Structure 1
Amino acid sequence: MHQPDYREYQRGEYVLPWTYLHAMKDYTDMAFHLEQHPQARAVVNFVPILLEQLHDYEQQFRSGEIRDALLKMLKHERLDELGDEQRLHILDSCFKSDHAKMLKPYRAYQHLFDLLKVLEGHGRENVTYLSGQYLADLLVWYHLVWMGESLRRSSELVARLMTKGSQFTYAERMELFGLIGAVIADIVPRYRKLAERGQIEISSTPYNHPIMPLLIDFTAARESEPNAPLPQAVQYPGGLSRVHAHLANAMEGHRQNFGAPPHGMWPSEGGVSRATLKLLAEHGCEWTATGQAVLANSLLREMNDHPLPGSSGYLYKPYQVDTGGAPIYCFFRDDGLSDKVGFEYAKWKGDDAAADFVHHLEEILRHAPDEEEPVVTVILDGENAWEYYPYNAYYFLSELYAKLENHPDIRTTTFHECVQSLNDPKSKVTASKLHQMVAGSWVYGTFSTWIGSPDKNRGWDLLCDAKRSYDIVMASGRLTDEEKRLATLQLADCEGSDWFWWFGDYNSALSVASFDNLFRRNLSNLYRLLKLPPPLELQHVISVGSGDPAMGGTMRRSDGM
């Protein structure tokens, strides 16, 4: 579960709403399904910067000082008084979803969309004349369709508003506003309770979700892509110390949120290298995980490029990786099965999809040696897949958890339990040694999603320039301790992976523009916090999108197909 930091640090306002929208739709539903199936086990990964934003939203609701534009307008009493800019923000924001699953099924919401398109057909300027009641109805419907299916089935308020359909009053909007605040405040306690009763393991990620191998050494990209173009900068200045900081902050944040440090980490985007695994072990991680292609590349190097075994049995076990330091176990994602959940099963009936998933597991077991118990690792986003499923995957997930917890030969578990079982003489789970580790990620087994193209590399060069300025100013003694703290927080945001994920013409124009703008704004704010003028080149767009990727670009298939 991951969202980058959508705050604009100079004013503290949220530029994009995805953190709280996914909180009330997906993080609630994922907890609900686990609560309904107490014998099902899972690993839930929370990126620390997501948790920080959830706490920030909780504080906003508690104080009444809302710093998210859509939430602020949801509770605005007289929407007729809004200016053109605010009206356009509502109209541009409140139809952003998968229309097939989140708009067309709701006649009243579809009517609002159709009316807008008619007015736009007579000139974009006409839409600013829409009434305050239209804006109220649109704001309510947008938040209703982003509600988790578990909430729709349990909340009297949600059912009442969806039944009413239109002419929502200010009092009803405030009821909805209050429900959203309560849902967000309950997320971390719900998962902590699941962890305390032993049903889930909660893992973490480096604090602001940086691609650790690239922060340490850009040339790590060439381990899996020998001819990958690199940024002009030789390497990110002081990258090793920055990785240590992201890891230390993640460990401490996890302790504060869940009462203890995590046993393991999902490195940002499964980005690993020998150096990063060594650092993870040094920070107390007993396990980590990444993609299947990373294992294939590493085994091929270990076997001097001899072909891998025809059977994929090599995938279904943990590996103890030789890092030259403390031991760490690595689990490798079954890309085919994970991608079926992420991309294929949304088109199936829920029970058929769950049966197919279980059938794949049964086939893996059938082909396993008698003396071994295969460990199948399925990893995917906890938020982005479900809006493409009917009913936010309610039927698929309900059927899947039910089949898994009742199956005679399949047992769901956690990575920590799996590692612990290696010391149990009765366990048939075995681990192999892995002496080679080819740097890569879960996407294609490379880092091409974050580095290597002209616009991605330009983003890195701009970040490197800012980091060099940061180092000089921090050493100069010109800043107070508080000014240093704020500059370091802003730097950490700029080091996150998402900016580079979205650079690329294969992504949609709207998504690229949003993230390009926020990245340049963050870099500009960093210079201002350092009391330096932002470079003029930060006024120029880095990347322009023109594509139409699957799932809106929020997810990728591991094999690029």
Structure 2
Amino acid sequence: MSEKLHVAILWHMHQPPYEAPDTGKIVLPWVRLHAQKDYYDMALAVQRHAKMKCTFNFVPCLLDQLEQVAQSTYEDRFTQLSRPLPHTLSPEQRHNAAKELFSVHYPTMIHPFPRFRELWEKRQNSTNQNDFSVLFTDDELLDLQMWFELAWSGPTLRKDPDVEQLINKGVGFSQDDKEFLSAKQREVCRGIVPMLQNLSERGQIELSTSPYYHPILPLVVDTNIAKVANNNTKLPRKRFNYPADARNQILRAIQAHNHRFSRLPMGMWPSEGAISDTVLAMFAQQRISWVATDEHILWKSLPDPIPTVDWLCRPWKSHGVALFFRHRQLSDRIGFTYSQWDPAYAVADFVKHLHEIRKQSTLADPIVTIALDGENAWEYFPDGAIGFINGLYDVLSTDLRLIPTTFSEYLSKPLQDSFKSLLHVAPGSWIDGNLNTWIGDDHKNVAWSMLAEARRCFDDVCSTYNELLPPNLEEAYELLLRAEASDWFWWLGDGHTSAHDAEFDQLFRSTLIQIYRLLRLPAPPTLFFSIASADSAQDFAHPLHFTRPEINGRYDRFYDWRGCPLVTAHQGAIHQHYTRVSTIQVAIGTTGLYLRLTGNRPASEWFSFPITQLVINFQQPVLFRVHITRDIAHIEHNSAHAESDLQHPLTFLDNKLQHAIDDTLDVEIPWVFFTPASLNSGFPVEWYLEWLGANAPIERFPVSGNLSIHISGEENIRTDWIV
């Protein structure tokens, strides 16, 4: 039994770059919201416990954005909905405000506040879930704007007497109230970095860092490493293999940390705890003293693993870098379990586990590593976790057998326990000890191939220069590093989803598109389509006959469509409250493909606010789009039909398509847009539908994946027709 246990807590703070590279606009608000709700209070909790010590790990690109948030000129897409006077908002903005300003965790951030809950219930009970533009009065919308911002205010801000008075007011807010709260929030945001600096100088916290844009370094070095981490992993079609980028992500993080805090970082939390032998050697080259990752990596790295306390709770060394392995069970209890517990019971349970570890250890200086997300878990705690955190810090500051420490402080002491060496570190991350969260899924692999192609084009352009690159290429390289961020691959495909998956998809693709612009090359047309369209297709049955239905949008020509296959909204689609299209029928003719869309309401009613147009996105055998409004249907098509020559930009063609909108929506798409070849060989056709409002997608059919039908050779089709 050990007399004492060193407790090293690492809070990891991370958000990806949310600025759209083409417009400069901030697409999502999470940096600002977590700044005013979490980052300040996390630092303040340490400041209030003079004997508490821990590590704060901030990703450099998050700190860059925190500096922006503190400026009075800062705007994001949500502030454009929450700060203006309600009567100045357009119908589309009013709809979006009612849609977006409930983006909070209902049990802890809406339900406790009667007025916020009342507004939420009104939206939930609305009979028209597709148009909120007239749902709320100006007074109601003003209250909604205020409650969204109040809900995203942290415990300290809520206890400010003036803010507390606003919470107690509850209803009937004014624009002055809103501007006052906004000023208070900026004040909190401005105080975060100075407080971190102060705590670091006092020795209460260690500030560590991560690679600049939070990339999964082993995959940046070589995507083939994913198969070493898990032999069942499906690799991308194009290999990404750029060790120089990984080194630059590390070097730039160190330089930014030194510039901001006037000292070099001693340690790093690799993005998602992802490491490999090559990555550790890179850390050693940059004189990083310690790295933290997950215990799963330790057990995979040992030839004969013995999962005991003494193996986990000790320092290890590999490639000259000290390694600390997080205690998964204890770290996850904070992140995923204690939000449902009374804070006092949660603290008692956590401390009990710490003492059990201390008693089981035979080491002189055992250290337990607790490492987890320091921002996203807290909204699930009724009090924002401040009760648990303060309670835990109280115990760690007073229990003489539990010693709160930082990793560098621990390493600076004369340790009686010798370092254990790892000759080889298994590649992997904190999630299941592998890399499959960011690669292997079809969508993720498509993204890696897109990134690899952009990186190859960058090298081709740079090869014409000797050393000094012009500014446009320097900017392009910066965007390449940004495109390597883990978040794009996290949200794509299986494993994780959010209400803003489309924005993450768009941010990734717009970054690559901007790279091509800077390279003065045409962007591949695939970048103008959602990566989600790469999902497995939903097949139609083969048509029973060859026909040419009348395009009139009415049910009076039933026999034209009899026997034509259809797909319904529930087939292969994630449940939605409402979808305009309930069925799609397909007919095959000598001149083209015919589609008939039907719904629960007449098609003539589909194009009401906020819908401006329907887009049919064809993915196979070539990429093109059909744009349909009330009055016109036309093609946006690649000027070269051949699939092998898709580097040409998409352009609008003048020719219009035959379509009709009445009971149904009927449209004919001529075969000439699918392939220049004859129909003899046959080919697959894949597509999906998107409803757009102000050029932004509002609804998709199917929700994921494509619709698909195989077009037989011309002779087979004619045989079907004759039969």
**TM-score using structure 2 length:** 0.70
1:351-382 C-alpha deviation (Å, 9 max, x unpaired): 1111111111101111111x522110000001
Structure 1 distance, partners of 2:331, 2:350, is 10
Contact 2:313 2:366 in 1 (8 A): yes
* 2:429 is equivalent to residue 455 of structure 1: no
Change (3 A) 1:174 1:429: farther
Q: Is the 8 A contact 2:458 2:519 kept in 1?
A: yes
Deviates more, 1:360-369 or 1:537-546: 537-546
Partner residue, 2:272: 269
The 1:137/1:344 distance shift into structure 2, 3 A limit, reads same
1:558 is aligned to none
Q: Where does 1:93-492 land on structure 2 (aligned, <5 Å)?
A: 93-118=100-125, 120-122=126-128, 124-128=130-134, 130-153=136-159, 155-236=160-241, 239-299=242-302, 303=303, 306=304, 308-309=305-306, 311-321=308-318, 323=319, 327-369=320-362, 371-421=363-413, 424=414, 427-476=415-464, 481-492=470-481
* Structure 2 residue runs without a partner (length 5+): 1-12, 536-572, 576-723
**Cα contact 2:438–2:444 (8 A) shared by 1:** yes
CA offset digits 1:416-441 (Å, max 9, x no partner): 011112xx1xx444421111111110
Q: Secondary structure in 2 aligned to 1:317?
A: coil
Give the secondary-structure state (helix, strand or coil) at the position aligned to 2:426: coil
Structure 2 counterpart SS, 1:13: coil
How has the CA–CA distance of structure 1 residues 448 and 123 changed in structure 2, closer, same or farther, with 3 Å as cutoff?
Answer: closer
Task: Please say if residues 505 and 547 of structure 1, whose CA atoms lie closer than 8 Å, have aligned partners that are also in contact.
Answer: no
| In structure 1, C-alpha distance between the alignment counterparts of 2:202 and 2:129, rounded to whole Å | 58
Equivalent of 2:76, from 53, 59, 68? 68
1:20 aligned partner: 32
Question: 1-side partners of 2:138 and 2:462: how far apart?
Answer: 49
What are the Cα deviations for residues 449-487 of structure 1, in whole angstroms up to 9, with x where unaligned?
Answer: 011111111110011111111222233459973322322
When structure 1 is superposed on structure 2, of 18-27 and 169-178 the one drifting more is 169-178
Which residue identity does 1:245 align to in structure 2?
N
Change (3 A) 1:480 1:367: closer
Matched residue of 1:44: which SS?
strand
Question: What is the CA-CA distance between 1:28 and the residue it aligns to?
Answer: 1.2
Coordinate RMSD, CA, aligned: 2.0
Structure 2 residue matching 1:383: 3-state secondary structure: coil
Maintained 8 Å contact 1:224/1:297: no
- Residue number in structure 2 paired with 1:557: none
Conserved? CA contact 1:112–1:138, under 8 Å? yes
* 1:372–1:430 CA contact under 8 A, matched in 2: no
Please report how far the alpha carbon of residue 71 of structure 1 lies from its aligned counterpart in structure 2 after TM superposition.
2.1
| Bigger Cα displacement from structure 2, 82-91 vs 195-204 | 82-91
**Residue by residue, what CA displacement relative to the aligned partner does 1:212-259 show, whole Å, maximum 9, x if unpaired?**
1111111221222123111112333xx111112111111111012111
Residue 179 of structure 1 aligns with an amino acid whose one-letter code is K
TM superposition shift of 1:349: 0.7
Q: Deviations over 1:60-94 (max 9, x none)?
A: x1xx3x33122244332x32121123223222221
SS, match of residue 49 in structure 1: helix
Shift of 1:397: 0.7
1:29 to 17, 41, 44: 41
Quick check: which one's helix share is greater? 1
Task: Please tell me the residue identity of whatever aligns with 1:343.
Answer: F
Distance 1:547 1:312 in 2: 44
Q: Deviations over 1:294-351 (max 9, x none)?
A: 000001xxx2xx4x32633210011011x3xxx1101001001001111011111101
Give SS of 1:69's match: coil
Q: Is the 8 A contact 2:296 2:432 kept in 1?
A: yes
Contact 1:504 1:512 in 2 (8 A): no
Q: What letter corresponds to residue 176 of structure 1 in structure 2?
A: L
- 2:712 is aligned to none
1:456·1:500 contact (CA, 8 Å) conserved in 2? Answer: yes
**SS at 2:370 equivalent:** coil
- Say which structure is richer in strand: 2
Give the match's secondary structure for 1:95: coil
Q: In structure 2, how many angstroms separate the alpha carbons of the residues matched to 1:123 and 1:354?
A: 43
* Counterpart-to-counterpart distance in 2, 1:251 and 1:310: 34
| 2:67 corresponding residue in structure 1 | 55
Q: Which amino acid letter does the alignment assign opposite residue 142 of structure 1? A: F
Q: 1-side partners of 2:307 and 2:218: how far apart?
A: 30
Code of the aligned partner of 1:80: H
Match of 2:5 in 1: none
CA contact (8 A) 2:59 2:209 kept: yes
Are residues 126 and 461 of structure 1, via their aligned partners in 2, closer, same or farther at CA, if it must alter by over 3 Å?
closer
Within 2, Cα distance between the matches of 1:483 and 1:146? 38
- Aligned-pair CA distance for 1:126: 4.8
Q: Distance in 2 between matches of 1:126 and 1:436?
A: 57
Q: Take 1:469 and 1:84, find their aligned partners in 2: how far apart are those partners? A: 43
Per-residue Cα deviation, 1:502-540 (whole angstroms, up to 9, x for no partner)? 112343362432311221122222222222222111122
SS at match of 2:531: coil
- Residue 507 of structure 2 is aligned with which of 475, 496, 518? 518
Q: Which amino acid aligns with 1:448?
A: N
C-alpha separation between the residues in 1 aligned to 2:487 and 2:212?
13
For the residues of structure 1 that align with 2:401 and 2:574, how far apart are their CA atoms? 44
2:461 maps to amino acid: V
Please give the secondary structure, in 2, of the residue aligned with 1:377.
strand
Match for 1:162: what amino acid? I
2:214–2:486 CA contact under 8 A, matched in 1: yes
Q: Within 2, Cα distance between the matches of 1:284 and 1:509?
A: 38
CA shift, 1:489, in A, is: 2.3
Preserved contact between residue 53 and residue 405 of structure 2 (Cα < 8 Å): yes
What is the TM-score when the length of structure 1 is the normalising length?
A: 0.90
Q: Is the CA contact 1:373–1:430 (under 8 Å) kept in the aligned structure 2? A: no
Q: Which amino acid aligns with 1:235?
A: F
What amino acid sits opposite 2:255 in the alignment? E
